[in-house]
Structure 1
Amino acid sequence: MTNPPKKRTRLPVHGVLLLDKPVGFSSNDALIKTKRLLNAIKAGHTGTLDPFATGLLPLCFGEATKFSQDLLEADKTYITVVHLGITTTTGDTEGEQLEQRAVDVSIEQIRAVLAQFTGPIQQVPPMYSALKRDGKPLYEYARAGVTLEREARAVVIHALELLDYSAPMMTLRVKCSKGTYVRVLGEDIGAALGCGAHLQALRRIQVGHLQLEKSITIESIEAMPEAARLELLDPVDALLSSFPAITLDEALSVRFLHGQRLALAKLMPDLPATPGRVRVYRAADHQLLGSAQLQEFGILAPERLIQTGTH
């Protein structure tokens, strides 16, 4: 009788990996596979991409998961191909065709409609989404043939650029706020043009300040020696790099890690001039201690703390 293979011991991995999610994977599928490849104890993703979509999916490991909410709330940028003239049940290629119409629109008409959808807009979430009603995701109702009333939500389309148009395909660059459904945006643009539309392709190229160019595919990770995979991780503070930094001495660091608010105005005259979010380091070893809110009068209020192993 052969002994079953030993289970691998998971490792306390900390950092951020920028994954280029492939088509056909849910965000959770991609997370589970990457977590296994890095043999990590704890991991989470930072906002879902539909299975038909590809592109940037930042994955947080260990202590970095404490800051994943920042990317959930960050602006996103996409390149999308909109197929004019055909509507589907899901607003993308995964659904069944509902209607087909002739496409007879000019670039001038397209630009005029795009201008209508730039800026603050109201958007009704799709039935094929993970939003929950009575504890059940909307897509489960949709698959059962049930359509529920949904309230429109306010989102912001910061930029909507026409990159290419060769009827019936239209390629757009979309920069939008959190909570925006690009599928719905494509459908609404098609409706405004009078011909209907669905998304043929969707690729996310930026999340906050993180960019697709620095991402890696699952296939590339699989091809690497296991020992080299951890070198792919950016440090935990990669998620906080857009915030000002404050460095504390040892005594203040200990107080900060105990969650104490610190009055720094007299101790540190070179504090950032504007109150807001900051990242906090220990001077001795430049160890990230966490994030905080710098309030008026130089008050530093701890927000999310890093487990440093010294407190």
Structure 2
Amino acid sequence: MKAARPANDRPRVPRRAVHGVLLLDKPLGLSSNDALQKAKRFFRAEKAGHTGTLDPLATGLLPLCFGAATKFSQVSLDADKRYVATLSLGATTTTADAEGEVLQRRPVDVSDAALAEACRRFTGEIDQVPPMHSALKHDGKALYEYARQGVEIERAARRVTIHSIDILDRQNDLVTIDVSCSKGTYIRTLAQDIGEALGCGAHLAALRRTGSGPLTLTGAVTLAQLAEMTEPDRDRLLMDADALLADVPVVRLDSEEAGRFLSGLRRRVRLDDAPQVRVYGPEPKAFLGSARVQAGELISTRLLSPMEVQGLLVIEEPEKQEHSERTPA
């Protein structure tokens, strides 16, 4: 007689090789890693990763990488970002956002012209002091861990670039702005600094990421939508594994050269120098990896394995019958 399975000992879900990029619209209150793990279970993926954290209090675009695409997640991490942020004027908080305790309240006597001027002042290259409530590390521990213990760590200012700040709406003390910025920009710090420039203080009331490099919310899907789909429908949502490199030049090699490139050998090419290119074999979908071109040489930077390349070339035939059973979240 078989022993009864413990109630919390669910059968292991078989994993599979999945390659591609999913545009996830992350919900409010969920960490980036929790969102990743849920999506990974939906796809039964062997390997997955995200492209940089999005605060639990933020919603919006979180590109997720599966299989071969995980090797290029740094591209999205380094890319410019775009956000729609709501600033609450007149109050500063301990965390510079709506989660913290109010530190100070001040009257708001700010004209639209003064608001526009303050936004203009913070456009371009600026220095930002990272907030204590952030994931930056100090002596191997995240700053927010020190903050929770009431410990203040001295932080050096960092240079970031705000490409543009457009005021979308203003309802009394709530101001909604569209921000295009470089990686590493803290929007909560920007909100706080704009508030100080206006003399009334401010904190970040809401944040939604709308863009990361060439990727936008167009075509993004929520976890709730994924839960309602069959596995084949989910698979059809995946962008190609090279999606994060969509805005860099293409280099195509013949079969012999492709094999040598995959082995890590430098190849002679008649191309201008380029800091980054995406490299393909002779087949349209034969994505091999990324490289740079320097002094007439093609030098690999991130290579796929032969198995991963083959996996990208396999075109799965539609299932004869789509299962209605959904993967548990």
TM-score (norm 2): 0.90
Displacement of 1:285 after TM fit?
A: 5.2
2:49 is the counterpart of 1:50 = no
* Residues 233-264 of structure 1, C-alpha deviations (whole Å, 9 max, x = no match): 11101111111111100110111001111112
Displacement of 1:274 after TM fit?
A: 4.9
Displacement of 1:31 after TM fit?
A: 0.6
Structure 1 segments of 4+ aligned residues over 3 angstroms from their partners:
1-5
Partner of 1:268: none
Displacement of 1:33 after TM fit?
A: 0.8
Displacement of 1:45 after TM fit?
A: 0.7
2:82 is the counterpart of 1:77 = yes
Q: Which amino acid aligns with 1:295?
A: Q
* Residues 21-60 of structure 1, C-alpha deviations (whole Å, 9 max, x = no match): 0000011111111111111111111111111100000001
Alignment of 1:11-160 (within 5 A): 11-160=16-165
Q: Which amino acid aligns with 2:44?
A: N
Partner of 2:306: 308
Displacement of 1:16 after TM fit?
A: 0.4
Partner of 1:299: 297
Unmatched tracts of structure 1, length 5 or more? 266-270
Sequence identity, in percent? Answer: 53
Partner of 1:251: 256
2:185 is the counterpart of 1:186 = no
Distance 2:276 2:301 in 1: 9
In the alignment, is the contact (CA less than 8 A) between 2:21 and 2:64 conserved in 1? yes
Paired residues in the alignment total 304
Structure 1 residues 284 and 115, CA gap change in structure 2 (3 angstroms): closer
Q: Which moved more, 1:276-285 or 1:95-104?
A: 276-285
In the alignment, is the contact (CA less than 8 A) between 1:103 and 1:167 conserved in 2? no
Partner of 2:4: 2
Distance 1:197 1:224 in 2: 41
Structure 1 residues 22 and 286, CA gap change in structure 2 (3 angstroms): closer
Q: Which amino acid aligns with 2:115?
A: I
TM-score (norm 1): 0.95
In the alignment, is the contact (CA less than 8 A) between 1:16 and 1:234 conserved in 2? yes
Partner of 2:281: 282
In the alignment, is the contact (CA less than 8 A) between 1:253 and 1:282 conserved in 2? yes
